[in-house]
Amino acid sequence: MRLFTALWPSDEAVRHLASAVDRLHPDRVAEATAGLRKFRFTHPSRWHLTLRFHGDDADEQRVTGRLDQRVAELLETDPSSPRLRLAGAGTFRGVLWVGVEPETGSDDAALRELVRAAGGDPRGHTAHLTIARWVAGRADRELLPGLFAGYTGPWWRPRDLAVVCSDLREGGREYRTVHRVAVTRETPG
């Protein structure tokens, strides 16, 4: 079992990015992924922004208790969540990701505070959403992210943070949300 704290983009943001993935020309994908073994796009239902990995066998009650406390303190000073959009792309070893762009400096600061509330270090955090993986091979640092050059999705605001358990099952990892905490006091509409 692995535990992590994440936020999910809005349904509209996921649909928009999924449409961009679907519109990619197969020849461009083949060229960009040449030499990568077992390249695959991840299913949109798994697209999330990890704010902090808590590790294998982390104490679930301790993680959720701290998150509740930190978010409550955060909401006392700022009752809104950051306005974000998915934009741009990059790679880590074995991962193609789409970046997260805050609208303003205060939205950037609010995102960093959510990372801090999750127990992470905002200085070393690259906000991103993993959209594809591969098991071996070196990605061309320009060609693969270039599939999403200029990509920008719709603006959205996270409503909550989720503590997620990632269980290893036959056929891969299965995500199970074990706790949610609202990150805004704003009323919808």
**116 vs 125: CA distance, rounded Å:** 10
CB 101 within 8 A of CB 152: yes
pLDDT in tens, 32-81: 999 999 999 999 999 999 999 997 778 889 999 999 999 998 888 877 78
Query: Looking at residue 42, what is its pLDDT?
Result: 93
- Report the predicted TM-score, pTM, of the whole model to 2 decimal places: 0.88
Is the pLDDT score of 172 beyond 50?
Answer: yes
Q: Which residues contact 139 (CB under 8 A, 6 or more apart)?
A: 32, 33, 36, 91, 96
pLDDT in tens, 74-117: 888 877 789 999 999 999 889 999 999 999 999 999 999 999 99
Tokens 């036959």, residue located = 170
- Domains with residue ranges and CATH for the chain: 2-182 (3.90.1140.10)
